[in-house]
Amino acid sequence: MKLFVVILISLFIILIGYLYFRKTHKKIQFYNDFLSFCEEIETEIGFFQNNIKNILDKQNYKSSFQELLNNFKNKTLQKFLNEQNFLTQNEQTEIFLFFQKLGRANSETEIKEIQNYKEKLKNKINNLTNFEFKKSKLKFNLTICFSMFVFIILL
Amino acid sequence: MLEGILPDRISRALNELNPKGLREIRIRVKMPIMIDYGTNFYLGENGIVDSSEYALSCSFEEMQDIVFKACECSVYAHNEELKLGFVTLTNGQRIGICGEVITENGIIKTIKNFSSINIRIPHQVANCSLKALPYLFDDNGVFNTLIIAPPGAGKTTFLRDLCFQLSNKNIEKNLLLIDERNEIANLVNGKPSFFVGNVDVYSYASKKFGLENGIRTLCPSAVLMDELGKEEDILALNYAIGSGVKIIATAHATNLNDLFLKPSFKNLLSLRVFKRFVVLSNRNGTGTFEGVFNADKICVSERI
């Protein structure tokens, strides 16, 4: 019985580390897809002048970014963003404002806005992969070590 | 009516109206909404009201949203139209737009901070051109014809039906319709929303582009176009007439004398390019047929 409880505690500690690691991984995927989307709309607006609805209909992403686009189409973006706990409050507001402004100006202004936003996204992805991802990986490894330590002590 | 574009309360109120005869809806920021059935009324919560006191109005934010939605949430995709002061909805309704015109080096870049809109409700009045039609062609086909009327007197509706009749009755084989604002045929996914017959349609094309390219590539026997008036239109028209293509166009003028006084038409009229003039008015309601006149301003039709 004691062994079982100790294993359970150790696994729980590993799970916490894994969830943190997964959250960062999910965030990186999300922002990578967001960047691809910005590149796509830049072309669609700049060259084809396709309307937003048609552009959105063409998109197919595997990350939760696709859900974001679906919610934007269904006008439930704010609610969706509030539910995404891997995004900070600031990030949620920033994303919401980006989509709020989308399609409201002439193509020159739209493209400038998208290019600015792309730069922001690139910085964010760099920061996430070079710093946050390594940090989360380290934390995950530390939780494994810690769980082993707990396992030995308790046993 | 206009759900998805107008705010719910305005859209609900418009649904209370009788669509028959409704010509225009005018919305100005923080002003009573006006509706035009030939006579102006105000739009109240439950339909028509006589006093502006009970009329609905629209906020600045709502106005920006209306134009945004009319542009299918993609203002950039409709910027060329916006620069000309209008947007055409997918159902053929034309929205005239007023606001802050942004220019750079004298060139219009866009319009922003929209202040008022005028929604024109298009109508298909079947056979409305039949009274004039017998006087507009002979064995060699249709004459060069100018349809004249003051604004809102049914020129576009008449032109739409004339286009259909010419095609349907096989008076002209290859007709080209230059639909500058996409309101005559209202092409949606390549298919006209109104009956214009078996014709080629250039939508959102300038008359210059339509005439020069259309004549080269589509070999039309007659070209139909709306609202002739600008210098460049007249120049392009000279090219078309020189190519042996028949022209049917509309122009703003209250009567023939008014038309002959317009400087842009002076040269064209002195050369007697147009053999027939169809005059419409609002005398007995929209689209009152005043008669068909020849180049000597003599009425050749029965006067109604």
The whole-chain average pLDDT of chain B stands at 90
Could you give the angle at which helices A133-154 and A2-43 cross, rounded to 10 degrees? 170
Query: Does the beta-carbon distance from B77 to A49 stay under 8 Å?
Result: yes
| Percent of chain A whose pLDDT exceeds 70 | 100
Query: Does the beta-carbon distance from A106 to B109 stay under 8 Å?
Result: yes
3-state secondary structure of A144: helix
The whole-chain average pLDDT of chain A stands at 88
Q: Is the pLDDT of residue B303 over 60?
A: no
Quote the CA–CA distance of A51 and B194 in Å, as a whole number. 24
Quote the CA–CA distance of B86 and A151 in Å, as a whole number. 73
Q: Is the pLDDT of residue B1 over 80?
A: no
Query: Does the beta-carbon distance from A103 to B68 stay under 8 Å?
Result: yes
Phi, psi (degrees; rounded to nearest 5) at B116: -155, 155
Q: What is the pLDDT of residue A79?
A: 92
Contacting residues of B for A53, CB less than 8 Å apart: 72-74
Q: pLDDT per residue over A9-58, tens digit each?
A: 888 888 887 787 788 888 899 999 999 999 999 999 988 888 899 999 98
Phi, psi (degrees; rounded to nearest 5) at B277: -125, 125
Nearest to B28 by CA among B4, B65, B68, B57: B57
Q: pLDDT per residue over B169-189, tens digit each?
A: 999 989 999 998 888 998 888
Query: Residue B157 has which token pair?
Result: 């509706």
Nearest to B156 by CA among B186, B199, B176: B186
Give the closest-approach CA distance of A105 to chain B in angstroms.
Answer: 6
Query: Does the beta-carbon distance from B76 to A107 stay under 8 Å?
Result: yes
Q: Is the pLDDT of residue A65 over 60?
A: yes
Q: Is the pLDDT of residue B304 over 70?
A: no
Nearest to B193 by CA among B155, B173, B170, B164: B164
Query: Does the beta-carbon distance from A51 to B73 stay under 8 Å?
Result: yes
**Amino acid of residue A119:** E
Domains of chain B by start residue, with CATH:
8-120 (3.30.450), 133-294 (3.40.50.300)
3-state secondary structure of A49: coil
Give the closest-approach CA distance of B111 to chain A in angstroms.
Answer: 9
Kindly report which listed range (B86-90, B217-221, B248-252) carries the lowest average pLDDT score: B86-90
Query: Residue A112 has which token pair?
Result: 């400038």
Q: pLDDT per residue over B108-132, tens digit each?
A: 888 999 999 999 888 788 899 999 9
CB pairs under 8 A between A and B: 39
* B63 against B154, higher pLDDT: B63
Give the closest-approach CA distance of B71 to chain A in angstroms.
Answer: 9
Q: Is the pLDDT of residue B211 over 80?
A: yes
Residue B4 in contact with partner chain A when CB distance is under 8 A? no
DSSP state of B144: P
Nearest to B268 by CA among B276, B260, B278: B260
Instruction: Tell me what ipTM this predicted complex has.
Output: 0.77
Query: Residue B280 has which token pair?
Result: 């419409």
Quote the CA–CA distance of B70 and B99 in Å, as a whole number. 15
CA atoms lying within 13 Å on the CB side of residue A112? 5
Whether residue B153 contacts residue B287, with contact meaning beta carbons closer than 8 Å, is answered with yes
Q: What is the pLDDT of residue A132?
A: 75
Measure the CA angle with vertex B96, ends B91 and B99; round to 5°. 135
Query: Does the beta-carbon distance from B72 to A52 stay under 8 Å?
Result: yes
Q: What is the pLDDT of residue B161?
A: 95
Q: Is the pLDDT of residue B3 over 80?
A: no
Quote the CA–CA distance of A83 and A99 in Å, as a whole number. 17
CA atoms lying within 13 Å on the CB side of residue B115? 4
Q: Is the pLDDT of residue B200 over 80?
A: yes
Q: pLDDT per residue over A77-94, tens digit each?
A: 999 999 988 899 999 999
Quote the CA–CA distance of B201 and B180 in Å, as a whole number. 10
Whether residue B200 contacts residue B214, with contact meaning beta carbons closer than 8 Å, is answered with yes
3-state secondary structure of A38: helix
Give the closest-approach CA distance of A94 to chain B in angstroms.
Answer: 20
Nearest to B292 by CA among B304, B279, B281: B279
Instruction: Mention every residue, 6+ apart, whose C-beta is less than 8 A from residue B62.
Output: B7
Q: What is the pLDDT of residue A25?
A: 85
Quote the CA–CA distance of B212 and B174 in Å, as a whole number. 16
Q: pLDDT per residue over B5-32, tens digit each?
A: 999 999 999 999 888 878 899 999 999 9
* B277 against A16, higher pLDDT: B277
Task: Identify any residues that bridge with B26 across adjacent strands, giving them in sequence order.
Answer: B34, B118
3-state secondary structure of A125: helix
